[in-house]
Structure 1
Amino acid sequence: MKQGRFMLEPERFCVWREVKVLTSFPQRLVGMLMQQGLPRGQAYWFPSCTAVHSWGMHFAMDIVGLDAQQRIVEVRRNVQPGVMIRLRGTRSIIECESGFPYPLEQWCGRQLQFEEKEIDYGAD
């Protein structure tokens, strides 16, 4: 699974330091279903995605829609378990813990840059 972080441009401010990229159908279908919550600073990114569901979830989340240039176009806060949400004008979606402390709504129109990190599978 690809991992990395999202930086707010142009100041290069790290918004999410640990981002897991879900691209395969099984990854996208399951998403965060088995988790009881997300640590601060962690997020899931669903490239090529315009809708998400929270069926079977155990916690609320914040959802951020990005356009094709990875600009923030919509933010939905405190999305409760058991709903489906379609975000208009989005090409990808970020899911993070509800109550994320940064002013995401104020950053609408701002671009995020994804930086992939190398994963060393041989490290102890």
Structure 2
Amino acid sequence: MKQGRFILQPERFCIWREVKVLNSFPQRLVGMLMQHGLPRGQAYWFPSCAAVHSWGMHFAMDIVGLDAQQRIVEVRRNVQPGGMVRLRGTRSVIECESGFPYPLEHWCGRRLEFEEKEVDYAED
């Protein structure tokens, strides 16, 4: 599984330091179902995605929609378990645990850069 971090441009401020990229259908379908929460600074990124579900989730999420240039186009806070959310103008989605402390809504139009990191699979 590809991993990395998201950096707000142009300041190069790290918003999420641990991002797991979910590309395959099984990864996307399961998403965070088995999680009972996420540490601050951790997120999941769903490239080529404009809608997410929260069926079977155990906690509320904050959801960030990015356009094709990875600019923030929409933010939904405190999405409760048991529903589905479609984000207009979105090409990919970031999910993190609800209550994320940064002012994501104020950064609409700002670009995020994904920096991939090497993953040591021996530790997993």
TM-score tier by shorter-chain length is over 0.9
Indicate the residue corresponding to 1:75 in structure 2.
75
State the 1:119 CA deviation.
1.1
Runs of 4+ in 1 over 3 A off after TM superposition: none
Indicate the residue corresponding to 2:32 in structure 1.
32
| 1:83-94 correspondence runs (5 A) | 83-94=83-94
Give the CA RMSD over aligned residues.
Answer: 1.2
1:113 partner letter: E
TM-score by length of 1: 0.97
Indicate the residue corresponding to 1:5 in structure 2.
5
State the 1:122 CA deviation.
4.7
State the 1:54 CA deviation.
0.1
Q: Percent identity?
A: 88
SS at the partner of 1:29? helix
How far apart are the structure 1 equivalents of 2:51 and 2:121? 32
CA deviation string 1:29-67 (max 9, x = no partner): 000001100100000000000000000000000000000
How far apart are the structure 1 equivalents of 2:59 and 2:121? 31
**Could you say if the C-alpha distance between residues 25 and 8 of structure 1 is closer, same or farther in structure 2, counting changes exceeding 3 Å?**
same
Which ranges of structure 1 fall in alignment gaps of 5 or more residues?
none
**Could you say if the C-alpha distance between residues 30 and 122 of structure 1 is closer, same or farther in structure 2, counting changes exceeding 3 Å?**
closer
1:18 partner letter: E
